[in-house]
Structure 1
């Protein structure tokens, strides 16, 4: 086993480990790593380093800086990610390069990275204001993945970001409407050219981008079912048509009369708008919901338009995405099996659905208890 020691240094803990002898001078070579929060953390890292020496997998010294590595790494991620996801990686990379880019890849420590997160939370924006915990958490995820690849490629002996603690992100409070509030909004939304899109969101639980990415060819009117196979999103202020959020998001949703009626009305409305636009109409897509010249609807505009209608309807303020939560909540309260709700929403597991809508499940359990007792003691 290679010799090594743990000691205090620069307000934290560090370790030294023998990495062998220089082939020409015969002098002993050592590797120093510092910035650990606790002695136990440093000891664990030392044990790992000693194992790499024993296995003959010692990482060669390198002067590569984090910003140079990230430039190459981000290029390689483009083919693996959706455009919106890659854009978020690039934005996180800019923050990382601006604050940590000058440091050597092999010199990064968990303590240094956690200090960087604290700075982002305090004054990470260019105007001096702090970034949200969610944004900083996303930055942490990108750095951890980048350094995991650096470790796999033998550029660093350990992933310093994996040992660092990212910020805690509180799940935003979920807001939903009752069926009466949804009906009130629907009455006001009748004046909007996007009224049928709101109906689709409320009756199917689709995500905003999924509804805006819906094509006429994805709808089977005879079987009353919709295939969700693409989305519309904004990337760097540009409208982009791409793939669903996850593989599980590609799904078939069965619909009923109100949804079919809304889709037929939308087809008639689109024919009228196409006639009014004339030669300016965009014929390059088959989208169900389009702007006034036939192009994809900007998702950000769609959300702002929804907010204005909510204010006019004088119902509790919710986000456009909360129509999805409203659909799930009303479905569960109506007795729809959670597995069915999960599949309609495109969740990867039923556990995600039950966790998200745990506020509904106690009522389901009470109803189940009443049903069972009525069967036994009626």
Structure 2
């Protein structure tokens, strides 16, 4: 859009040309030209300027480097990210992305450059497939956004080959679950954090959700736990704190719990109440279920360490704490629980995530379904013959 006007003071013409928004900053830009004797001169100058801008815009915009565009993209992205997520993004950007394709001009991107970038991360850096896929996910998101502004052709992403992820979830069998839950009967000096391990195993809650759980979030009467708070990183370093909400919107949920877990929680609450009574004003009351002896939240590293020590004392395989969540989901799938229910318990965004994550269980379930058909038609044949 352009406006040509006459200056009432000088009697000369001028125009203001709106040249749109800067693709990096998003700020609107305008150009002004003054001092034309006639309106026709102003019109001619305006037409020439528009032609120059049209020719140079295609050149200048496409010559942005990937670093320039990505850094602007990241500043906008930060608005809706948690501090812990920002930290994860920064590590990817400055270690796995920008050193390799940061100086590539936007109009130079092609399939070969991106595929070579993937190869360097996977073959030379020997990064895990999951890490490579995360880095590529960021790159592809940025390039898709740039393609909507005409800076790059999104077709360069169509045939990219990524390293295959081998999903090896370490999970316990039903017998091993039983052994672990019986730990209070066999371990003399059992860690006070065992209640947190029990909660995760029986609910599928994430570590941050377990460590942020408050007594106020538990409904004994209806046997429900409400996920309303998490222990998360609160800055771009490694500082943790209690944060309202969940990892995602779908993570905010309620989970039904067993009678045995209700009883374990009540026993543990008696310990907490006793500590509050003894320490009184010295007790840091965050209303936490899993906490130190003075009521403070537990650092995840200490929680993981206590879990490992506990498992070492039992005759069962060593797994990560997060594998309790996988064990919970797998156990439910194997026991014919509807995947939609499992999705809701885990706080997944949709049931496809649940099914894809635990696809290792599906083959045996498929065989069982096929076996049921055999049994059905076998019975049908017998009835028909009779």
**Normalised by the shorter chain, which TM-score bucket?**
0.7 to 0.9
Pair 1:66-2:66 in alignment: yes
- 1:200-236 per-position Cα deviation (integer Å, ceiling 9, x unaligned): 1121122222222222222112221111133324564
Q: TM-score if structure 1 supplies the norm length?
A: 0.73
- 1:119-152 per-position Cα deviation (integer Å, ceiling 9, x unaligned): 122343xxxxx22121111111111112222233
Secondary structure at the counterpart of residue 313 of structure 1: coil
Instruction: Kindly indicate which of the two structures has a greater share of residues assigned to helix.
Output: 2
RMSD: 3.4
- CA–CA separation in structure 1 for the residues paired with 2:378 and 2:296: 56
Contact persistence 1:201–1:208 (CA under 8 A): yes
Residue aligning to 2:250: 248
- 1:277-306 per-position Cα deviation (integer Å, ceiling 9, x unaligned): 6655434x3332123443322223322321
* 1:339-354 equivalences in 2 (<5 Å): 339-354=340-355
Residue aligning to 1:158: 153
Quote the offset at 1:167 in angstroms. 2.3
Quote the offset at 1:367 in angstroms. 7.7
Quote the offset at 1:107 in angstroms. 2.5
Distance 1:203 1:315, change over 3 A: same
- CA–CA separation in structure 2 for the residues paired with 1:180 and 1:217: 33
Quote the offset at 1:177 in angstroms. 1.6
Choose 1 or 2 for highest CA Rg: 2
Residue aligning to 2:82: 82
User: Which blocks of at least 5 consecutive residues in structure 1 are unaligned?
Assistant: 1-22, 32-56, 125-129
1:185 is aligned, of 180, 203, 209, to 180
- CA–CA separation in structure 2 for the residues paired with 1:375 and 1:205: 39
* 1:28-177 equivalences in 2 (<5 Å): 60-95=60-95, 96-124=97-125, 130-154=126-150, 156-159=151-154, 162-163=157-158, 165=160, 167-177=162-172
- CA–CA separation in structure 2 for the residues paired with 1:231 and 1:359: 35
- CA–CA separation in structure 2 for the residues paired with 1:121 and 1:59: 34
User: Which blocks of at least 5 consecutive residues in structure 2 are unaligned?
Assistant: 1-47
- CA–CA separation in structure 1 for the residues paired with 2:72 and 2:376: 61
Secondary structure at the counterpart of residue 86 of structure 1: helix
- CA–CA separation in structure 1 for the residues paired with 2:105 and 2:157: 17
Distance 1:61 1:308, change over 3 A: same
- CA–CA separation in structure 2 for the residues paired with 1:197 and 1:362: 34
Contact persistence 2:106–2:152 (CA under 8 A): no
- CA–CA separation in structure 2 for the residues paired with 1:63 and 1:277: 65
- CA–CA separation in structure 2 for the residues paired with 1:351 and 1:224: 28
Residue aligning to 1:267: 269
- 1:251-298 per-position Cα deviation (integer Å, ceiling 9, x unaligned): 211112111112222322223444566655434x33321234433222
Q: TM-score if structure 2 supplies the norm length?
A: 0.71
